[in-house]
Chains A and B, each alone.
Chain A
Amino acid sequence: MKARTQAALRRRDALTAYLFLAPFIGIYLVLLVYPFFKGIWISLHDWELAGSYREFIGFRNYEDMWLDTIFWKTVGNTLLFVVMTVPTMTLLSLVLALAVFGTSRFKGVLRSVFFMSSVFSVSVVTLVWQMVLSADKGLLVPLFHWFGMEPINFLGNQTLAMPSLVITTLWWGVGLPMALFLAALSQIPSELYEAAELDHAGRFTVLWNVTLPSIRHTVLLVLVLQIVGQFQIFGQAHLMTQGGPANRTRTLVQYIYETSFRDWQVGYASAMALGLFVLMLGFTMAQLWLGRRGEE
């Protein structure tokens, strides 16, 4: 008798579970799993955005991709952006976290200041920084005149355009990694600091021997999140430089977007999107593997 009610209860529980899961799983299958595989299918076609022209061409899009110099140029640009942004972002957010860590109200205000810019949308951030960096009406123009120099057109300069996007991105994004570091700092047991205090350890000794080793997991986490996040750079390049000058800032996601929605080559764009997916997956795996190995 008891066993029977138990079994009935379990069956009822399973039914409830499926009902609870149904909305999520339903939407997830239709709008994430299915599109992912449809993307693979599209990438095997010559497929136009509008109209019904689609022809199965096997792996030709992938062959084209391999030979496409602009594709590799955009991959290179994206990597350059990642290489310039991720270490600076990680270091800056760590330094800021160390500087604003504490219980005083004043430090709370400082935390809000550095965190606030990350709630802005990409179009607000790029609008602000396009103005700041403008050679005509920019924030720095009076400064250039002060030194008797001609204002520099940062976004139109082949060497300076990419660093400009990096600075914009740092200003926009430093809040999230900083918050992650702050959370990690608050988890460090105070006994560790007290022990260091007894040893009359200096500020940098404590930082090097106590603080940094205690938050190394968070450093790894921030690096992974940043690499994956910054690899997807699109808005800054699309809105601030339109990929210019001379393709110097054209990024991979931007090229995918343009191939699909400006040139209508949906099949080829899908192939590149999958290439991006594989690249990002590779980076994340490598990073996690390195981190795990470092622990042993």
Chain B
Amino acid sequence: MASARTSGLRRATDILILAATVAFAILWLLPIAWVVAMSLKPNADLMRSTAGFLPIPFTIENYTNLLGRETVPRWLMHSLIVSVAMTLAVLIVSSTAGYAFARLEFPFKRTLFLIMAAGLMVPEQAVFIPLHTMFSDWGLHNTHFALVMPRVAVPIGVFLMMQFFRSVPMELEEAAAIDYASRLTIFLKIMLPLSIPALTTLGLFTFIHAWNDFLWPLVSATRADMYTVTLGLASIQSNFAFTEGLGAVMASAVFASLPIVLLFLIFQRFIVAGVAMSAGK
């Protein structure tokens, strides 16, 4: 009897906690809902009032104007090129190095590993100024190359791949070695196909990171026609925020976030699992 009462109480608290969480989640989403609603309202109406979460009166003019102009589509193109290139480069470089550390024996392995691990402690702020002077000397600022290259050799990527390759059973490789398959063949034909989940996770993280990169692009891509989406939206905020109308600015923000939000919604299981993986689980 006593236990029936406690279990009833327990269920009631469960429901209460869930209700509070839902309320909090709605609160969490309000800023996004509000911004999306503003992007679907005429600029003239927003001049009077920005209140309300429903786009009434409704218009898609902000979006059609956006596509008609060159700026935002060009920012998107730069972001796509940079993010895809960086993702591919990180995957190639991390998986080959990760495989070497996980499965091959060679002189100075430990030394090289320690040198790589030391890189984990160096934040980008400690190197972005000298990197800037180097790319200036080479005359390479305002290029996709400059936005991609300093982000390619990331120790955490190598760690992730190394941990994954270590978890692959040795027998799979040994069987192939008996057939006199070369290391490269083993890597390409056996290890890489097996590591698709790890590659997906690393790739998604790199892509999101590249898309949202801010400090380095801010000092390297200084010409407006080389802006990525993230830089472009930052420039809107500091320069001409209200000249084109609030609705237009909000539409730019929504439009620029769409690719990354879609990516998140499709792959969120990989992304959330990746957080746990990168923590060294």
Nearest-neighbour CB distance to chain A for B37, whole angstroms, equals 11
Q: CB distance A239 to B237 under 8 Å?
A: yes
Please give the distance in Å from B266's CB to the nearest CB on chain A: 12
Once the chains bind, are B256 and A124 in contact (CB under 8 Å)?
yes
Flag whether B105 is at the interface (Cβ < 8 A). Answer: yes
* Residue pair B265, A112 in contact (C-beta under 8 Å): yes
* Bound Cα distance A221, B279 (Å): 8
Contact residues of B with A, CB < 8 Å?
3, 6, 10, 13, 17-18, 20-22, 24-25, 28-32, 34-35, 38, 46, 49-51, 92-94, 96-97, 99-101, 104-107, 109, 112, 115-116, 119, 121-134, 136, 149-150, 152-153, 155, 158, 182-184, 187, 208, 211-212, 214-215, 218-219, 229-234, 236-238, 246, 249-250, 253, 256-257, 260-261, 263-265, 268, 271-272, 275-276, 279, 281
Contact across chains for B208 and A119 when beta carbons are under 8 A apart: yes
Task: Determine which of A23, A120, A200 lies in contact with B96 in the assembled complex, contact meaning CB atoms within 8 Å.
Answer: A23
A142 to B53 CA separation, bound complex (whole angstroms): 12
Contact B93 A27 (CB under 8 A): yes
Q: Which residue of A lies closest to B213 (CB)?
A: A121
Q: Map CB proximity to B onto A252-296 as digits: 1 under 8 Å, 0 otherwise.
A: 010011001100001001100110110011001000000000000
Tell me the interface secondary structure of chain A in the complex: helix
Q: A116-B264, A253-B125, A277-B123 are in contact. Are A142 and B51 (CB under 8 A)?
A: yes
The answer to whether A38 touches B134 (Cβ under 8 A) is: yes
Kindly identify, within residues 78 to 101 of chain A, every residue whose CB is under 8 Å from any CB belonging to chain B: 96, 99-100
Q: Given A16-B184, A20-B104, answer yes or no on A141-B152 (Cβ-Cβ < 8 Å).
A: no
- Establish whether residues B125 and A276, one from each chain, have CB atoms under 8 Å apart when the complex forms: yes
Task: Please tell me which one of the listed residues A23, A100, A123 contacts residue B230 in the complex, with CB atoms under 8 A apart.
Answer: A123
Contact of A124 with B97 in the complex, beta carbons under 8 Å:
no
Once A35-B130, A269-B129 are accepted as A-B contacts, the answer to whether A281 and B106 lie under 8 Å apart by CB is no
Q: Classify the secondary structure of B's interface with A.
A: helix
Residues of A with C-beta under 8 A to B123 = 228, 232, 276-277, 280
CA distance A53 to B279 in the complex (A): 45
Interface residues in A34-57 (C-beta closer than 8 Å to B): 34-36, 38-39, 42, 49-50
A257 x B215 contact (CB < 8 A) = yes
Residue in A50, A128, A281 whose CB lies within 8 Å of B35: A128
Residues of B within 8 A of A142 (CB): 51
A230 on the interface (CB 8 Å rule)? no
Contact with B along A104-124 (1 / 0, CB 8 A): 000000111111110111111
**How far, in Å, is B190 (CB) from chain A's closest CB?**
15
Question: What residues of B have a CB within 8 angstroms of the CB of A141 in the complex?
Answer: 50-51
Q: Is the CB of B276 within 8 A of A31?
A: no
> CA A40 – CA B9 in complex, angstroms?
63
Counting from the closest, the 4 A-B pairs by CB-CB distance are A183-B276, A24-B97, A28-B153, A121-B212
Query: Is A179 close to B, CB under 8 A?
Result: yes
Given contacts A42-B129, A111-B272, 14 further A-B contacts (CB under 8 A): A10-B105, A13-B106, A17-B105, A18-B100, A32-B127, A32-B150, A117-B28, A120-B212, A124-B256, A139-B31, A142-B51, A200-B3, A234-B215, A266-B133
| Cβ-defined partner of B234 (8 Å) among A36, A171, A239, A256 | A239
In the complex, A38 Cα to B275 Cα: how many Å?
A: 33
The residues of A that contact B21 with a CB separation of less than 8 Å are: 96, 99-100, 110
Question: Is A132 located at the chain interface by the 8 A CB criterion?
Answer: yes
Do B272 and A182 have beta carbons less than 8 Å apart? yes
* Alpha-carbon gap, A112 to B150, bound state (A): 31
Report chain A residues within 8 Å CB of B18. 99
**Pairwise interchain contact A273-B125, C-beta atoms closer than 8 A:** yes
Question: Is A192 in contact with chain B by the CB < 8 A criterion?
Answer: no
Residue A127 CB within 8 A of the other chain: yes
What is the CB-to-nearest-CB distance from B67 to chain A, in angstroms, rounded to a whole number?
19
User: Does B122 contact A277, Cβ atoms closer than 8 Å?
Assistant: yes
A142-B263 Cα distance, complex, nearest whole Å:
35
Contacts of B158 in A (CB 8 A): 24
What residue in chain A is nearest B53 (Cβ atoms)?
A139
| Contact status A123-B214, CB under 8 Å | yes
The listed residue (B183, B230, B260) touching A16 by CB distance below 8 A is B183
**Using a CB-CB cutoff of 8 Å, which residues 150-197 of chain A contact chain B?**
171, 176, 179-180, 182-183, 187
Complexed CA–CA distance, A117 and B100 (Å) = 36
Tell me if B276 and A121 are in contact (CB < 8 A): no
A171 to B54, CA, bound (A): 22
